Each structure stands twice: as C-alpha cells, then as structure tokens.
Amino acid sequence: MVDAARHPKVEILSYSEVERVDGYIGNFLVGVAQKPRYVIADQCTGCGDCARVCPIEIPNAFEMGLAPRKAIDVPHGQAVPLVYTIDMDHCIQCFKCVTACGHRDAIDFSQEAQYSELDVGAIIVATGFESFDPTVIPEYGYGVYPNVITAMELERLDNSAGPTVGRLVRPSDGREPASMAIIQCVGSRDKRYNEYCSGFCCMYAIKNAILMKQMIPSMEISIFYMDIRTPSKGYEEFYNQARKMGIRFIHGRPSQITQDPVTHNLFVEAEDQELGQVLELETDLVVLSAAAIPRADAADVSTKLTLSRSPGGFFMEYHPKLRPVDSPTDGIFLAGAAQGPKDIPASVSQGSAAAARAARVLSSDTWEIEPIIASVDPDVCVSAKGIKCGLCVPACPYGAISCVTGEAAHVTSAKCHGCGGCVAECPHSAISQHHFTDVQIVAQLRELLRDNPEEKILAFMCHWCSSAGADMAGTSHFEYPADSRGIRVMCSARTDQDFVLEAFRRGAGMVLLSGCHPQDCHYITGQQVAAKRFDRLQDQIQRLGISPERFRIEWISAAEGEKYARVITEMSETLKGLDREQILSENRGARDAIERRLRRWKASPQMAELMAVGADELPGGEELDR
C-alpha cells in the first residue's frame, strides 16, 4: 500500500465516494466526493496524540467490535494514508484533540466535502466483500452466547496486532480456551441465505486451526464440515498437515448449539456421518466460518456504473470463462471478491488481469466497436415531441440509451453492443439497427416466402445460439426436412413481433421463434426481453385466429444441432398434417387485422413499397382460383 501511495502515477483519494459516472470507454467522467476528515491531511503526521486524549470510545469495525477506537482515529496502524479522521456522529466537539495536536494544527472542524471530477479512460471495480452476520441463524446462538464468534473475530483475537495482542481468550471469562469447534458453511451453501460456496472458508478454517494448534498444542480443535474444498496448489497438502497435527475433522453439519447457563460452555450437536451417530461435543469456544456476501452498497454501485449482478449479488462478469474480469460495459473491469468470493491468490491474479485489460484501453487512441449499432431518428422519436416514452431504455442490457422527455432518445454508440432489442421495442419505428434494419429483414422475409409460403416454416434465429445451432445441424449432417427458411438476427430480442405478423400476412405455414437459453444470452438480458415479447405474441396470434400449432418458440443453443433438426422435423410433420385449405383460410382471415397493425410501417416509403405486394404474391382467393 505504501508503494502505491508513493507511486508518482498513482493518486489515492481516500475517504471518498464515487457519486456519479457518465460517459463511455476511454471517456468516463467520474464525480467524486471526498468526505471531510476534519483533519488536514498535509499537516497530519499520524502521531496519534489526538486519539490518546479523545474521551469518546466507539466500537472499532476493523477489530470486529472486539476493541474500541476513539472518535478521532485511524482505521488501523498500517492505514495508508496515515491520516486521522473524526467520526462526527460521535464526536462531542470537546476540542481536546485540537489542544493535543498543538502546533501541528492539523484539525479543522470547518472542513467540508470536496467534489472533483475525474476524466478517466477505464475503470476497475475492486470493492471487495462483506461478512455474513450469523445472528439470523438462531440455532447457532451467535449474538446470544458470548463464546460463539465468527472467523473474522477469531482472526483479530489471534492477531498479534489485535485487541488481545494475539492471546486467544474466551469472551465470557477471558480464559484461554482448552477446546474450539469450527463450523463451516455458515450462511453459505444454504438456500435460506446464500446458495453459493464462499470458496475461502475451508482454507482459512484450516489455517486458523493450525495456527491455534501451534500456539496451544494441548488445545482440542474440531472442524465440522460438509465438504472440505482445497483445490489449489498446496491446499490439499495443507489439509493433510492439519489432520496430522491432530485437528479433528467431523463430517456432519451441526444442527444446533446450546449453552450451559453456568459455565457458558457450548454443546455442538452434529451427526458424525462416518460413524452414523449424532455427536454432542462440549467445547469452550465455537468459531463460525461465515459466508462472504456482497457489500451492502453493491446495488448502489451497480446502478452508478451500469453493472449487472449475478444471482448471488456479486457483480457480473462479461463471460464466466472467457472474459472473467470484464464487465458487460466496455471499459469497466472487475477484480477480486467484488466479482465473487475468492481467496488471495485468485484476487491478485484478477487484479493483474484487470490492470492488463485496462492498459489495453489506455494504450490505444481508438477503440473498435460493433458496426451493427442502433441509432435514433430524432424526427420520428416521439420523446422529442414532448411525449413521455422511453420504452427503448429498459430493453438495453448496457444502459446505452438515455431518454429525457422533450428530447429524442440518445444511443451512446460506444456502449451499444448491437443486440437490436431497442429496435424491436420501439412502437414508433424511431430506432433502427445498422445492417439489421426492418427493411432489410422484411425484404428477406418477402423473398423467402415468395413461393408456396403455406408449405414453409419461417425460422427467426439469433446469431450466437440458434443460428449456430442450425449450422451445427448442417455440419453434423443431421437430416431434417427442407421446409424451413431462416432469418438471422444478432439477438432474439431483435425479432420484432411485426415480423411474425408480416410472415403470416405473406402466407407462411408456420413460424418458429428461437434464441439462446436464458443463461446463455450473448447480450446478457436480451433473451429475457425476447421471451416476454414472444409470450405476449402467442396470445395475439391465437386471437387472430391462427392455430397454435403453427407458431412455436424454442430456445436452442449453439451446441444443440440435434435439437434444431428435431424441432424442424416435428414442425414439418405437423405442417404436413394440417389441412392446406385451413392454413390459407386462417391467413386470409387474419390479414385485415394484421394490415391494420402494420399500418405504421407504411409511414416509411421503403417499407410501404416492400409491403405493397403484387396480386400474385398475396395468399388467398387468387391461389384458389388457380
């Protein structure tokens, strides 16, 4: 930390908060509020005279509440920068500190917050994690029984710079404990609290156990576990060492802890599964390996930086395997436990990786973006006319669109990844996607359904999954009937419901809407936007009088070539089983309603031309006469 503080190219803004982030990769504008310390950093020598005379003691968060700190203090002895800060919520303004500081004159009660704006090219989010509070688990007695502590509290008790100078003592009576039980997976791997595994607890529990055993060889230490996870280099050997030292590993998750009301000793009950019997272990001290959880302000941070969060609440990476330190927003990177619980080697690796990724940005003058981005036509956008809309905004997984009533919606090109969801959501055709315009797609549709459309299955596929799946079907030589015709879009979110209506207007026999499986979407939430739309569409199509068998929604991944072939085969069989006259009459019956709904397309001359069909292309009466 000291090296970082001294580096000429590193500026540490401590005791500060990010208030606002605007802009895009290479051009972020970050608003920072530096909170008032009420101490002038340049004049504070970190001597600590102020803290010594301060009469107010408050719980010390760094010492896990086991020791006090003063109203004026530093977080801990190695804090960088070593500048004291006054906690104004507790300071009584007695000014003893001012007197003690004397000629250094570093204390300034009139200090106010400073705001600054930083112009940066890349952002790395390394905001870390918090510890789960086991008070919510009544059967473990944390917060009720004095001798049940968390692992973090144990860390402070056995730390030579901690409140007991490294002597392990029992909270109830200050005695050195003769025995200790460590319980794993407290709040982790638990559907009631956090389903994930916190990853580092097995190792730190073993570490603490070995440390204690070295300090107090006669101490009886037991670790209650469901699984011991020691996957990395040297970890399994470390585990074996612990066993060799006589630390007892009991394979069974404790059901409850009770306390002797007189001695405050604890009784841990768990099934020793190897024995198949329930064990009641009396112990002096219980240590809970509490889960790592996202910080309480994670929601706030993710809003400010337009980050998504994974199911556990940690910030979501672009891709779990292929881009683990990138966030979905270009230019913003993730490192450390903020992205998911991990230990020190992994955090350090991610830190280096994120730095390298950020360096790529900073060392380039230009940044390549997708050409298939969306853009708004300000003359068509109704928001520009003062009408409240903004339907495009929530469709964007990247927060690339902003919409203020009175102004046209605006797409930040650098943030756009080209899924096309906004285009399909816009009810006024005011947004369009380069290279995947409505005109281009409808033109494909028209050609594909030119001849005998009622014998065809029109499939809308997304580039990354279902279309690749269809390709896979081909390269794998899975046979399927030649009744299908495909239209590729980048994301299923691009598939506009009007395309489907137009397909039926053109006389399609069947329509297949496909895309990624929910967790696989290349554009994070595009598939969800599509799924909602497709469900609504299903009702609409039935109301138009089209038989439900003629419309199908399937989620097909790039590896599921066999599935694609099977789906087309099934649809083809169904199609052949349907009465051709019925198809024609259903299409005919729906045409007027569809044309009314597609009226707005006619506002665009190109679309109007596309839609105006020659008599020989229309389904219905003409064909019957043939």
323 binding other proteins? (CB under 8 A): no
Can you tell me the distance from the alpha carbon of 226 to that of 270, in angstroms, rounded to the nearest whole number? 11
CB of 282 to other proteins, least distance (A): 9
Backbone φ/ψ region at 390: left (φ over 0), alpha (ψ -120 to 50), beta: left
Q: Within 13 Å and on the Cβ side, how many CA atoms surround 425?
A: 23
Min dist. Cβ of residue 296 to other proteins (A): 23
Closest distance to other proteins from the beta carbon of 184 (Å): 10
Residue 179 or 258: the one with the smaller Cβ distance to other proteins is: 258
Alpha helices in 476-614 (DSSP H): 497-505, 526-543, 561-577, 580-597, 605-611
Q: How far is the CB of 144 from other proteins (least distance, A)?
A: 8
Q: Tokens representing 392?
A: 């495009």
Instruction: Specify which residues 129 forms β-bridges with.
Output: 294
Q: How far apart are CA 503 and CA 511, in angstroms?
A: 8
Q: Which is nearer to other proteins, 284 or 496 (CB)?
A: 284
- Which residue type occupies 211? L
Candidate segments 34-42, 93-101, 134-142, 526-534, binder of other proteins by CB under 8 A: 134-142
Phi, psi for residue 488 in degrees, rounded to 5: -100, 135
CA-to-CA separations, 203 to 194, 227, 289, 364, in angstroms, rounded: 19, 12, 10, 41
Among 136, 278, 356, 362, interactor with other proteins by CB under 8 A? 278
Residue 135 touching other proteins (CB under 8 A):
no
The span from the CA of 398 to the CA of 384, in Å, is 22
Closer to other proteins by CB, 189 or 213: give it.
189
Tell me: does residue 93 bind other proteins (CB under 8 A). no
Site for other proteins in 256-275 (CB under 8 A): 256-262, 267, 269-271, 273
Site string for other proteins, 167-196 (x = CB under 8 A): ------------------x---xxxx----
Nearest to 396 by CA among 467, 345, 328: 328
Any contact of residue 138 with other proteins (CB under 8 A)? yes
Complex with other proteins: residue 257 or 307, whichever CB lies closer: 257
CB of 253 to other proteins, least distance (A): 4
- Distance of alpha carbon 511 from alpha carbon 527, whole angstroms: 18
Measured CA to CA, the distance from residue 158 to residue 142 in angstroms comes to 19
Q: Give 61 or 262: the residue with its C-beta nearer to other proteins.
A: 262
Q: Is residue 141 part of the contact set for other proteins (CB under 8 A)?
A: yes
80 binds other proteins (CB under 8 A): no
Q: Pick from 415, 556, 381, 561: which is nearest to 27 by CA?
A: 415
In angstroms, rounded to a whole number, what is the distance separating the alpha carbons of residues 335 and 357?
11
Q: Please, what is the minimum distance in Å from the beta carbon of residue 137 to other proteins?
A: 9
Q: What are phi and psi of 588, to 5 degrees?
A: -60, -45
Under a CB-based contact definition with an 8 Å cutoff, are residues 372 and 434 in contact?
A: yes
Beta carbon nearer to other proteins, 185 or 408: 185
* Closest approach of other proteins to the CB of residue 276, in Å: 7
Whose Cβ is closer to other proteins: residue 240's or residue 255's? 255
CB of 285 to other proteins, least distance (A): 17
- Binding-site string for other proteins from residue 442 to residue 471, where x marks contact by CB under 8 A and - marks none: ------------------------------
CB of 198 to other proteins, least distance (A): 13
In angstroms, give the least distance from the CB of 149 to other proteins. Answer: 18
Q: Is 470 exposed, middle or buried (0-12, 13-18, 19+ CB in 10 A)?
A: buried
Question: Site for other proteins (CB under 8 A): how many residues?
Answer: 30
* Nearest-angstrom CA–CA distance, 352 and 235: 22
| Chain residues 227-256 in contact with other proteins, contact rule CB under 8 A | 251-256
- Give 237's contacts (C-beta < 8 A, 6+ positions apart): none
Which parts of this chain interact with other proteins (CB under 8 A)? Answer: 138-139, 141, 185, 189-192, 226, 251-262, 267, 269-271, 273, 276-278, 280
